[in-house]
Amino acid sequence: MTSAELATFVAKTRQFFRGEMDEEIFSLAKVRIAGLKSETCLTALNEYALAFGGGRGRFIPSKFFEYFAKITIDHEANAESGNRITSILKRAQSLQDETREVNAEWDAIRREVDQADPTEVSNALDLLHSAGWIYPPPDRSRWRKSHLLAVSDIVAKRARPNLRGELVGAIERYSHQAPPAKEGTI
């Protein structure tokens, strides 16, 4: 706290507490108060004056420091809470961004399947069926992600359907997305 801020603090103290003051104790307190943050001291002084100030109110340094400590603790708790809220909001934004990216990737895979040669899509589905998968529903918007990914990879030649061993390995990969449904389910 600057000397001007300390002078303001002392003036307000004398204004709010007009009762008898122990000047020697107040002088000792001013040395300690001078090393504190002015805004927090003034807030604590205002709170203290509301509770105990007035024409016969006495400024008791130890009581003032109780108010100062409470306000400091409250400010720190509010700052910590604000930091937690900021952190939560950042994580939520990150999750939203990640969700958008994932959805965009799945939209691209769906477009790839939709734009593929229907014969190639049919052949890919037949190949998956021969490996134990059921056929997906005719409406592609109801296909499982595992079907979309597998058909997309086969049609785009990222999986080689003519080598049974590699296809089985690929099917295991796709199965981690969502296991193929049993007969009669989607």
The pLDDT tens digits along the chain (186 residues) read 899 999 999 999 999 999 888 899 999 999 999 999 999 999 999 999 999 999 889 999 999 999 999 988 888 777 777 778 788 888 888 888 898 999 899 999 999 999 999 999 999 898 888 888 889 999 988 999 888 988 998 888 877 654 444 554 555 555 555 444 444 433
The angle subtended at Cα 159 by Cα 153 and Cα 161, nearest 5°, is: 110
Cα separation, 183 vs 185, whole angstroms? 6
**Which residues, in sequence order, are CB contacts of 181 under 8 Å at separation 6+?**
134, 144
Is residue 35 classed exposed, middle or buried when 0-12, 13-18 and 19+ CB atoms within 10 A define those classes?
A: exposed
pLDDT for position 132: 81
The angle subtended at Cα 110 by Cα 163 and Cα 102, nearest 5°, is: 100
pLDDT in tens, 52-103: 999 889 999 999 999 999 988 888 777 777 778 788 888 888 888 898 999 8
**Helices (DSSP H) in 53-144: which residue ranges?**
61-115, 118-130
Cβ 180 vs Cβ 134: under 8 Å: yes
